[in-house]
Amino acid sequence: MIADATTAAWVHSAFAYAGMALGAAMWRGTLKRRDRGGALAPGNFGVLVGLLIGAALGNKLVFLIERPDVAAALWQGGQLMLPGQSIVGGLLGGLLGVEIAKKLTGQTRSTGDAMVLPIAVGLAIGRIGCFLAGLHDDTYGLPTALLWGVDFGDGIPRHPTQLYEIAVVLVLGITLSRARFTTPGLAFKLFLSAYLLWRFAVEFLKPVPVPYPLGLSGIQWTCLIALAVYTPIVLRAWRRPPLLATP
């Protein structure tokens, strides 16, 4: 693990940006294969802008929910830049940004399915950076006696929750991107729902920086609220068509 906080921050950022760059490249390739004119085509470009703006805002907003203590300390110190980020916030903000962009540009076709595998790969690469950052990142797990516990530098074996997430998102991304659904957008809806469920569950294996009601973290409450709103949408999409066999 990386012992120096500054080096850890640089490595973490490098993997995060590498994941985003590769994910964007994969998305462009998927659009071209599906004859949608590429990412810079008029309709697709509007969606891309909405995605980026929404993800950036959601990223920081959910971080504020998760770590109000950090936000308050930075505010009192006169710092307006927030160092943290939230994948859950980025996904939810990106979803809202895309939907708003589609309304403004008059698009009605689904755009999410092309993003499933790129998002999964991007998240997996980003989590490698989280793992290498060790104790300098808030994604490490609670102490464990399991054989695969990892010492992140304090002499205590912990759940490598970053590695758990890499495995989960890759399995979800590969499985859902290969599945053949008759409802456009269903693959993305299932991916996002499954990821929110996963994040709610895996947070029980992590320290809670600021407890909310019932002892849950801000991320867990965000996931629960998002699932309460999103699950009826997913169920309606699931019930309309039959599920075709996967290749």
DSSP collapsed to 3 states, the chain? CCCCHHHHHHHHHHHHHHHHHHHHHHHHHHHHHCCCCCCCCHHHHHHHHHHHHHHHHHHHHHHHHHCHHHHHHHHHCCCCCCCCCCHHHHHHHHHHHHHHHHHHHCCCCCCCHHHHHHHHHHHHHHHHHHHHHHHHCCCCCCECCCCCCEECCCCCEECCHHHHHHHHHHHHHHHHHHCCECCCCHHHHHHHHHHHHHHHHHHHHCCCCCCCHHHCCHHHHHHHHHHHHHHHHHHHHHHCCCECCCC
pLDDT-based confidence at residue 176 (cuts at 50, 70, 90): very high
**Which residues have C-beta within 8 Å of that of residue 153, sequence separation ≥ 6?**
1, 3, 134, 135
Window from 4-18, 70-84, 127-141, 215-229 with minimum mean pLDDT? 70-84
Rounded to the nearest angstrom, the gap between the alpha carbon of residue 212 and the centroid of all alpha carbons in its chain is 21
Q: What is the pLDDT of residue 2?
A: 66
> What's the CA gap between 143 and 246, in Å, rounded?
39
* The pLDDT value given to residue 42: 57
Q: What pLDDT shows up at residue 216?
A: 96
pLDDT at 175 (0 to 100) = 95
Report pTM.
0.87
pLDDT digits (tens, 9 = 90+) for 78-114: 555 556 778 898 899 989 988 898 888 787 777 788 8
Q: Residue 67 has what pLDDT?
A: 85
Return the percentage of the chain with pLDDT > 90, whole number. Answer: 40
Under 8 Å CB-to-CB from 208, ≥6 apart: which residues?
215, 216, 217
pLDDT band at 245 (very low <50, low <70, confident <90, very high): very low
Residue 2 amino acid letter: I
**Residue 170's pLDDT is what?**
96
Q: How much is the average pLDDT of 15-37?
A: 74
Query: What is the CA angle 140-96-162, rounded to 5?
Result: 15
* Averaged confidence pLDDT in the chain: 84
**What average pLDDT does this structure show over 198-204?**
96
Residue 174: pLDDT band with limits 50, 70, 90: very high
> In terms of Cα–Cα distance, which of 91, 88, 93, 97 is closest to 115?
91
What number of other Cβ atoms are within 10 A of residue 225's Cβ?
12
pLDDT at 70: 76
More confident residue, 92 or 1: 92
Mean pLDDT of 164-174: 96
The domain spans of the chain are: 5-239
Tell me what the mean pLDDT of segment 150-169 comes to: 94
Q: Rounded to 5 degrees, what angle do the CA atoms 117, 230, 137 make?
A: 60
pLDDT at 18 exceeding the cut of 50: yes
Q: Does residue 156 carry a pLDDT above 90?
A: yes
Residue 131 has pLDDT above 80, yes or no: yes
Q: What is the pLDDT of residue 78?
A: 57
Q: Tell me the pLDDT tens digit for each residue of 30-81.
A: 767 665 555 555 566 777 788 888 888 888 889 888 888 877 776 676 555 5
